[in-house]
Amino acid sequence: MVTKLALLGAGRIGKVHARAIAEDKRARLVAVADAFPDAAKAIADASGCAIRTIDEIEADPNIDAVVICTPTNTHADLIERFARAGKAIFCEKPIDLDVARARACLEVVREVGGRVMLGFNRRFDPHFRAARAAIDDGTIGKVEMVTITSRDPGPPPAEYIKVSGGIFRDMTIHDFDMARFLLGEEIATVMASAAVLVDPKIGELGDYDSASLILTTRSGRQCVISNSRRATYGYDQRIEVHGSLGSVSAENQRPVSIEIATKDGYTRPPLHDFFMTRYTAAYAAEISAFLDSIEAGTAPSPSAEDGLIALALADAAIQAVKQGSAVTVKY
Amino acid sequence: MVTKLALLGAGRIGKVHARAIAEDKRARLVAVADAFPDAAKAIADASGCAIRTIDEIEADPNIDAVVICTPTNTHADLIERFARAGKAIFCEKPIDLDVARARACLEVVREVGGRVMLGFNRRFDPHFRAARAAIDDGTIGKVEMVTITSRDPGPPPAEYIKVSGGIFRDMTIHDFDMARFLLGEEIATVMASAAVLVDPKIGELGDYDSASLILTTRSGRQCVISNSRRATYGYDQRIEVHGSLGSVSAENQRPVSIEIATKDGYTRPPLHDFFMTRYTAAYAAEISAFLDSIEAGTAPSPSAEDGLIALALADAAIQAVKQGSAVTVKY
Amino acid sequence: MVTKLALLGAGRIGKVHARAIAEDKRARLVAVADAFPDAAKAIADASGCAIRTIDEIEADPNIDAVVICTPTNTHADLIERFARAGKAIFCEKPIDLDVARARACLEVVREVGGRVMLGFNRRFDPHFRAARAAIDDGTIGKVEMVTITSRDPGPPPAEYIKVSGGIFRDMTIHDFDMARFLLGEEIATVMASAAVLVDPKIGELGDYDSASLILTTRSGRQCVISNSRRATYGYDQRIEVHGSLGSVSAENQRPVSIEIATKDGYTRPPLHDFFMTRYTAAYAAEISAFLDSIEAGTAPSPSAEDGLIALALADAAIQAVKQGSAVTVKY
Amino acid sequence: MVTKLALLGAGRIGKVHARAIAEDKRARLVAVADAFPDAAKAIADASGCAIRTIDEIEADPNIDAVVICTPTNTHADLIERFARAGKAIFCEKPIDLDVARARACLEVVREVGGRVMLGFNRRFDPHFRAARAAIDDGTIGKVEMVTITSRDPGPPPAEYIKVSGGIFRDMTIHDFDMARFLLGEEIATVMASAAVLVDPKIGELGDYDSASLILTTRSGRQCVISNSRRATYGYDQRIEVHGSLGSVSAENQRPVSIEIATKDGYTRPPLHDFFMTRYTAAYAAEISAFLDSIEAGTAPSPSAEDGLIALALADAAIQAVKQGSAVTVKY
């Protein structure tokens, strides 16, 4: 069986998924839709798929699944439409910037028995997966503390900041999901400190660029997150899990790993400078997992509920900064 | 000029300082006092110094300086006595478990023009000093975020927990001082999450064994601290400073640094298992700095004020856990 | 322009190249030939190319280039045929196990103006390329000493050993080429020590499984090579270049790079266990360079001459072991 | 029992041993002799020992042992004298630059039942010892190949080169001993390639500054040594042992181990720049082992025979370079 997919949204991340689909023998990209004809054409040319409208894709009974890479504010609507149309859905995070809207969307999904997988790609990174395996197999014992360091090479453009929903909904949301992936227990409270240290313009737009968080579970497990919109040395993505029997850590990845020794010391090149090169393997594995769930007819994971919880954690963080106290997360 | 020192307290840490004094040509240990004659004798035998009472040491005009390694509850009294006696003072942290008592002690020191250095030995670790140098020389730009990981190999005995003042006053106090050493700006607020995850007995004694903290300065710089009373792999002591131009980190130290590769992977031995072996060089450099300040007649650093501030931060952390909100530090 | 390629030989390495061709937009695989119909069919199915005979491929004017992945003893004949047919040629190493035959083949290539690239894939590994770049840009100064460690996870089957030409022609040949790639000067003499330490069966077949070599250039630059047919921890592939201003090294690569810390120490997973996963990026870059040379009409590199020299070095090593002295290489 | 030692030779290395003796409670330095009164006085002042002549030391029945740190050309004579005088002897390497003289010296030692330990300090480095332990406890299986990288930060002065006996007798001699320490089997043959790549003046003095060696044992185990008189990045001292079950390696040591990450990459400071700081722990452990052997009345190790063998290997290497072939070592 070959799963026939349509891609909604032919931008940067759409291209990544199109490539992953092309390399997986179990899937075929049969259609692409985008408001910008040039973007759609680029993917159609590369993959040999047709350019279609969203309506056409929705109506086509031969299309099994859609991959939603359109702007955030269209996600909830598209999820609802394609869940109703009976198609398996892979949607980039977040469901919506508004928790209430996301919750309503999930109601629809549940009602119609929709299958939605959310694009928390980092769960599929081979290094983070291996760290999780060291938890699952008991190697490090009972999880006690998680440390997540997550820093972008540089701040996004102002236009993006404006519509991003802020650092917690846009950037930390990945770390919230990773925290849940590693803690093994739901997060009860969120504390956060945030500031504008990198670029005053970010502050003028009402956002922060530097944030530290403590997530605490009911039993007292703790997760510390350190975020910055700037890391001169590349895309800084590290996790560490401390347990009763030991720790496991996944260090940064670099495209080239030579070391040069001179009178000035030992130097290794910077890290990957972009999430697409850093998470290439994760993006491929993510689509593969989506295809797995379609083939097996099982619920995809991470689910839309996972997306909703991450969003609720982002909201709690925003509130925590404002009121200067720990916020109890509402699920 | 050879500085003549007396050692008050001949326990574990007293021995460390006695050895550091023995190796420094500018100093001579001339007296040791301890309530336990055997302990005093061991040091007297090794160093060739005399066993004296505290009164005798106080009265001896030939003694230039004292190194206070007695139990915590005697620190403030001894500092006051020897400040009045005009002797230079090196005192192990903390000044006292009670901030008010510590503050009163400092009043006396100021009044009599006493010179007091506090034993925050980690400031003298060559790796942490090199990290600080990378801040001071501008290499990493303006400091934005500090991460401190500080975990003991295993919990101390219950007897110690009882008199320690709790994890924040006993263990995190070093990290508070390190945060100040690295942040370059006073800490304005403290948030903390703490739990008993390692040993229920610690909880029964009213203390925690696992804690996460966020310290925030006035301008919004953030420091995250991760503490645990257990790390199966050894004494886990790491710092990382993230700045506008880059980051600097000081990784863990191990006594033996071979790597063995077999079919099961690549393995390196555990870390140092004790603060004395981990910080050997720091202890020696600390006493050297104390002697420097005596020779130069300058104010020793870290000062008693530094000790008082660290204590105030510990109190703020205790309160922060209790009330679940950020506590503004009172200096 | 899209270069049309035919693949000769649809085995393990043929599949690697077919995939690399599929991922490069400038190329199209149009034909595959293999004595085993099933092997050819697998590639034809995956790539959509036709199954053809070697004769048909040779005669087809629409085919621009061939990729030769057939057994070693057919390489020289095929190179001659396709050079005469005017097609660009990419051929897996070696040209032949016999230097005289290889030399005769090159004569034909020169005569008919053939363009032949030899599959020394390691020159295209991003890490080794970066090391070479640190030589080329002067970072490490004048090259003085090269160290190559090259160990297979385990010995090949006896059937392979029999036809491989021995460890120097089969395994060290890559290191000879890498030495030349890094030394920047032709090798004048070869010394070698070899033994059977891994598996007596290898000795019974007249081969060695453990070898150490010193290659010396005319000006006295030295390269040390350490080879073994067994490395329990994975595919061990390291280089180090020592120059007048410093050194550059390319360490081993591993598929997963977590580290687990327990009471037994710090453990990282084993290395890649196979050349195909270790050199994935190199194989793609190699085909890309072949296509570059076709597009630009330039001489491909590494050339057939590079293949011949590596073979001469292997012969010199065999002789060096036998006579226990340094052998002067004949070019 | 406190062992009373005399130090012969108060130069650089003499000071190192004087300090090691001072820190060991089982020993007391009671006398020092040196042709330069100032050098002797410096040690006498620091340690409180007396300045004596060699004759006086020889005649003093209260002196149990001597530590010989005089110029190389006096070693053999002094060993003979003090062996006859019944004193335990620690002597810096080598016994003599001339194998015949060294052999004659050992004859005397054997005759009079002398106890001589030779200063191959690297055997006492904690990292190299741990590597050896991984051999002894079977972790890496049967030893097959050893790799030793040994490079000085910079060439010694011309005056030293003249009397050093050449790179093999002066520098590689440590690596010969280390090879024997790790191979677990005597070396049968030596191959070597050597050149002047660092400094032409070294060549004018008839010596080399860059050398590569292959040592082969009777059963075919191989050791590769890479030597250079210059390493801009510090004192480069690495070993690796490859066995049937795995490998063990001891990487370089650095005084400060921070890492700085900026847009230009990740940088760690250079290595130790001197053998004294690199091998501080080894020098202390070496003297401790000497005292152990005196206390226990056992034969010290490494022995004078070990010194003689290392010298024979150096001679073999010199001959191997000259004749361009493997030289069978004569023991």
Q: How far apart are the first and last CA of chain D?
A: 38
Best of A266, A267, A268, A271 to substitute, by most chain D Cβ atoms within 10 angstroms, is: A266
3-state secondary structure of B80: helix
d(C-alpha D274, C-alpha B176), whole Å: 36
Q: How far apart are the first and last CA of chain A?
A: 38
**Both tokens assigned to B151:** 């975990």
Report chain C's mean pLDDT, rounded to a whole number: 96
Neighbours of chain D (3+ CB pairs under 8 A): A, B, C
d(C-alpha C90, C-alpha C50), whole Å: 19
Q: Tell me what pLDDT residue A46 has.
A: 85
Chain C positions touching A250 (Cβ under 8 A) are: 257-258
pLDDT bracket for residue D54 (50, 70, 90):
very high
Q: Tell me what pLDDT residue A184 has.
A: 95
ipTM: 0.95
Min Cα distance D227 → chain C (Å) is 9
Q: Is the dihedral of CA C166, C172, C174, C176 positive or negative?
A: negative
Find all residues with CB under 8 Å of D36, minimum gap 6, and list them.
D10
pLDDT bracket for residue D60 (50, 70, 90):
very high
**Residues pairing with D228 in the sheet:** D151, D210
pLDDT bracket for residue B42 (50, 70, 90):
very high
Best of D258, D259, D264, D278 to substitute, by most chain B Cβ atoms within 10 angstroms, is: D258
Chain B positions touching D246 (Cβ under 8 A) are: 260-263
Residue B265 contacts C, CB cutoff 8 Å: yes
Give the Å distances, CA to CA, from C227 to C172, D179, D181, D324: 7, 18, 22, 22
d(C-alpha A225, C-alpha A208), whole Å: 15
Question: From its phi and psi, is residue D32 left (phi > 0), alpha (psi between -120 and 50) or beta?
Answer: beta
The per-residue pLDDT for range B53-112, each reduced to its tens digit, is 999 999 999 999 999 999 999 999 999 999 999 999 999 999 999 999 999 999 999 999
Chain B positions touching C273 (Cβ under 8 A) are: none
Residue type, position C9, single letter = G
The position carrying tokens 């900026």 is D262
**Dihedral of the alpha carbons of C179, C180, C182, C186, in degrees to the nearest 10:** 120
Counting every residue written for chain D, the total comes to: 331
d(C-alpha D155, C-alpha D201), whole Å: 10
Q: What does the pLDDT average to over C197-217?
A: 98
Query: Which domains does chain C possess?
Result: 3-119+293-300 (3.40.50.720), 123-282+310-328 (3.30.360.10)
Q: Which helix (H) or strand (E) holds B90?
A: strand B88-91
Q: Inter-chain contact A193–B216, Cβ cutoff 8 Å?
A: yes
d(C-alpha A170, C-alpha A193), whole Å: 16
Q: Among A233, A247, A326, whose Cβ lies nearest the Cβ of B324?
A: A326
Find all residues with CB under 8 Å of A298, minimum gap 6, and list them.
A292
β-sheet with B116-118: strand ranges across: B50-51, B27-33, B3-8, B65-68, B88-91, B116-118
* HEC assignment per residue over B269-330: CCCCCCHHHHCHHHHHHHHHHHHHHHHHCCCCCCEHHHHHHHHHHHHHHHHHHHHCECEECC
Residues 219-258 of D with CB under 8 A from C: 219-224, 226, 228, 230-233, 236, 242, 244-247
Report chain D's mean pLDDT, rounded to a whole number: 96
**Dihedral of the alpha carbons of A182, A187, A189, A193, in degrees to the nearest 10:** 30
Q: Tell me what pLDDT residue C23 has.
A: 85
Residue C280 contacts A, CB cutoff 8 Å: no
3-state secondary structure of B189: strand
CB B106 within 8 A of CB B291: no
CB D202 within 8 A of CB D306: no
d(C-alpha B316, C-alpha C161), whole Å: 71
Min Cα distance A126 → chain C (Å) is 6
Phi, psi torsion values for C240, nearest 5 degrees: -150, 135
Chain C positions touching B266 (Cβ under 8 A) are: 233, 267-270
pLDDT bracket for residue C201 (50, 70, 90):
very high
Residue type, position A184, single letter = G
A vs D, Cβ pairs < 8 A, gives 45
Tally DSSP H helices, then E strands, for chain A: 13, 15
**pLDDT exceeds cutoff 80 at C1:** no
Q: Tell me what pLDDT residue B184 has.
A: 95
Q: What does the pLDDT average to over B176-189?
A: 98
> From A45, which residue of chain C is nearest by alpha-carbon distance?
C25
**Dihedral of the alpha carbons of D87, D92, D96, D101, in degrees to the nearest 10:** 20
Q: Tell me what pLDDT residue A330 has.
A: 86
Q: Tell me what pLDDT residue D167 has.
A: 98
A vs B, Cβ pairs < 8 A, gives 130
Min Cα distance D280 → chain B (Å) is 13
Best of B183, B216, B225, B242 to substitute, by most chain A Cβ atoms within 10 angstroms, is: B242
The segments of chain A whose pLDDT lies below 50 read none
Min Cα distance A16 → chain B (Å) is 30
Task: Say which range, B43-52, B217-226, C129-138, D55-64, has the weakest mean pLDDT.
Answer: B43-52
Chain C positions touching B233 (Cβ under 8 A) are: 261-263, 265-266
Q: Tell me what pLDDT residue B91 has.
A: 98
The per-residue pLDDT for range D178-223, each reduced to its tens digit, is 999 999 999 999 999 999 999 999 999 999 999 999 999 999 999 9
Residue type, position A239, single letter = I
Q: What does the pLDDT average to over D147-174?
A: 96
pLDDT bracket for residue C47 (50, 70, 90):
confident
pLDDT bracket for residue B25 (50, 70, 90):
confident
Task: Count Cβ atoms below 10 Å from residue B73 Cβ, excluding itself.
Answer: 12
B vs C, Cβ pairs < 8 A, gives 45
**Dihedral of the alpha carbons of B103, B106, B111, B115, in degrees to the nearest 10:** -170
3-state secondary structure of D64: coil
CB A210 within 8 A of CB A222: no
Which of C188, C194, C189, C146 has the alpha carbon at shortest distance from C170? C194
Q: Tell me what pLDDT residue C105 has.
A: 98
pLDDT bracket for residue D25 (50, 70, 90):
confident
Residue A268 contacts D, CB cutoff 8 Å: yes
Q: What does the pLDDT average to over C99-126?
A: 97
Best of D139, D212, D219 to substitute, by most chain C Cβ atoms within 10 angstroms, is: D212
Q: Tell me what pLDDT residue B23 has.
A: 85
Chain D positions touching C187 (Cβ under 8 A) are: none
